[in-house]
Structure 1
């Protein structure tokens, strides 16, 4: 399937997905919202590192881990709708061979698909940051 550039509908879908991710994270734990900025930075390091961040956070910061995993799951769904399948194995952080197998699947994705996925992930994270700034709130009434 050939990649088609985003239409307004696809862009709106990413924006709506980001908004819902932020609202869900805010309901769970307001402190998790800062993860959107970290997510945006992590995009530059690739899919495996972005995917693996939820595992790193699992033991010590469950709400943040859930936010990362929900963002990953949303990306998988967005890309599925665009015709690109992203591996999304359920992995226990203590199962090193399963973690390694999932990382290998991500590294073995077609290079063009990787680039497209990273571009969409970047756009999703930009939208997360934007919505975070709107919903995080401040001490003033602005």
Structure 2
């Protein structure tokens, strides 16, 4: 079986350019995203909720990155939960967290590897467009 890039570099470029168009101050989130990968899928996913009320552009950047990960993982036949969640609804947040934690260890590892590479690409494009 051959290595498939899933267009991570192109997807990262789209994410960075979209964030730059909305608010260039959001670009530093790419570095924070890359650091957050180490804490796992649930914490990465939850960051958009934390930013939602105070910093909408930054929240949107995190959510668009998550949505991109979900789509790319789907191409690799890995289903990552992506429920619509309101940032103040504790039950929804808990349910989504449980779904992420219940992914098989193999799927978690693959998803984190893809997310790591996507964030590395985001950092690269961020450095070019700042």
What TM-score comes out, normalization by structure 2 length?
Answer: 0.97
Cα distance between partner residues in 2 of 1:25 and 1:6: 29
Aligned-residue RMSD, C-alpha: 1.0
Distance in structure 2 (CA, Å) of the matches to 1:6 and 1:119 = 13
Which runs of 5 or more structure 2 residues have no equivalent in the other structure?
A: none
Greater C-alpha Rg = 1
Distance 1:42 1:120 in 2: 14
**Is 1:47 the counterpart of 2:41 in the alignment?**
yes
- Alignment pair present for 1:24 and 2:18: yes
Where do 4+ consecutive residues of structure 1 move more than 6 Å? none
1:86 aligns with 2:80: yes
Q: State which of 38, 44, 61 in structure 2 corresponds to 1:67.
A: 61
Aligned residues: 130
Task: Name 1:6's counterpart in structure 2.
Answer: 3
SS of 2:54's equivalent? Answer: coil
User: 1:103 aligned to 2:97?
Assistant: yes
SS of the residue 2:96 aligns to: helix
